[in-house]
């Protein structure tokens, strides 16, 4: 069982901070949108995927905004639900494998857009797959545990490991759901410094981000000349700069060109 003090600690201290990322500016009704509609032109040159953040969903405001923008160009943006398999068993490895399974079987180029933990997932997919030709990372969760563990604290981390469950507020479910400690043991296998494949990459990160500080993206970009970092006057959610993000994506992915995202 999880003690009440742990439940309160996670809900009242970690999640109002970490949860801000979580594409949770506003959650919109699922029935309002269908951005995987097969009637849309998927574009036989490029397959576009959006990966939502931790404890979020395809119905987040950021996911739906970008899906709507792609739809306005008669393009399909596939937005998978990364909670499949249950939030309790979430790991970075599972998330990577889930997205890999969506890649076209032929050589169709893939463009990944990822938010926070979804951005970290996208970066690792770009490292592993030549098929990934462009990355757009929105406040990517580089150095994830380095930023998250201090917010939880050593004592709470020990309790999480002992009890094998940490109550975590999930924005789609609008309730606390336990997360297995395997999440931690799994992510320790992933060293961001090993992400070295020169994939054309655009990072957009808020200067006032107190969840994943912009320094994490600055450090990542500084060692990789193929990465372009745009610093925005925003926080981790990036909710006040969505039009700027869309314009940057549209330019970076050449969505107005004949090739529609392929250089």
β-bridge pairing 175-179 and 166-170: antiparallel
User: Is residue 260 situated within a structural domain?
Assistant: no
> Do residues 238 and 138 touch, judged by C-beta distance below 8 A?
yes
The answer to whether 207 touches 233, Cβ cutoff 8 Å, is yes
Q: Would you put residue 116 in left (φ > 0), alpha (ψ -120 to 50) or beta?
A: left
Share of the chain above pLDDT 70, in %: 81
**Number of domains making up the chain:** 1
**In a domain? residue 25:** yes
Task: Flag whether 110 is in a domain.
Answer: yes
Instruction: State both tokens at 250.
Output: 């549209």
The CA distance from 242 to 225, in Å, is 26
257 is a domain residue: no
What 8-state DSSP symbol labels residue 127?
H
What pLDDT is stored for residue 256 in this prediction? 79
**Rounded Cα distance, 242 and 192, in Å:** 27
Nearest to 204 by CA among 122, 87, 263: 122
Q: Is residue 259 part of a domain?
A: no
Residue 261 resides in a domain: no
Instruction: Tell me the C-alpha distance between 36 and 30, whole Å.
Output: 12
Q: How many CA atoms lie within 13 A of 109 on its CB side?
A: 15
- Those residues of the chain that have pLDDT short of 50 are 1-43, 258-263
Domain, as residue range, for 201:
4-252
Residue 242 lies in a domain: yes
pLDDT confidence of residue 84: 87
Q: What is the mean pLDDT of the chain?
A: 85
Residue-wise pLDDT for 63-75, tens only, equals: 999 999 999 999 9
- CATH number for the domain that contains residue 151: 3.40.50.1820
pLDDT of residue 44: 53
> Do 140 and 123 contact (CB within 8 A), yes or no?
yes
Structural domain contains residue 191: yes
One-character DSSP codes across 52-115: --TT--TTBHHHHHHHHHHHHTTB-EE---TTTT-GGG--HHHHHHHHHTTS-SSS--EEEEEE
**pLDDT one-digit tens code per residue, 95-131:** 999 999 999 999 899 999 999 999 999 999 999 999 9
Within the chain, how many helices (H) and strands (E) appear? 10, 8
For residue 174, the model assigns a pLDDT of: 76
Residue range 17-37, pLDDT digits in tens: 344 444 433 333 443 333 443
């Amino acid at each position: 069982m999880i003690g009440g003090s742990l439940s309160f600690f996670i809900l009242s201290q970690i999640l109002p901070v970490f949860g801000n990322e979580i594409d949770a500016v506003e959650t919109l009704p699922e029935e309002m949108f269908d951005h995987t509609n097969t009637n849309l032109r998927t574009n036989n040159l490029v397959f576009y995927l959006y990966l939502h953040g931790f404890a979020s969903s395809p119905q987040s405001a950021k996911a739906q905004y970008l899906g709507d923008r792609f739809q306005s160009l008669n393009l399909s943006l596939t937005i998978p639900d990364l909670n499949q398999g249950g939030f309790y068993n979430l790991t970075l490895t599972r998330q990577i494998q889930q997205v890999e399974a969506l890649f076209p079987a032929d050589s169709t180029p893939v463009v990944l857009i990822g938010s926070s933990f979804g951005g970290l997932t996208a970066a690792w997919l770009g490292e592993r797959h030549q098929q990934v030709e462009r990355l757009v990372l929105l406040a990517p969760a580089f150095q994830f545990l380095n930023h998250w563990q201090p917010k939880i604290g050593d004592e709470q981390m020990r309790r999480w490991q002992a009890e094998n469950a940490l109550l975590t507020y999930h924005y789609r479910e609008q309730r606390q759901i336990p997360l297995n400690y395997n999440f931690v043991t799994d992510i320790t296998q992933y060293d961001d410094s090993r992400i070295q494949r020169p994939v054309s990459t655009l990072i957009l990160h808020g200067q006032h981000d107190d969840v994943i500080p912009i320094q994490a993206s600055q450090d990542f970009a500084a060692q990789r000349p193929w990465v372009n970092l745009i610093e925005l006057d925003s926080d981790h959610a990036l909710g006040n700069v969505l039009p700027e993000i869309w314009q940057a994506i549209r330019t970076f992915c050449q969505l107005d060109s004949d090739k529609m995202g392929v250089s």
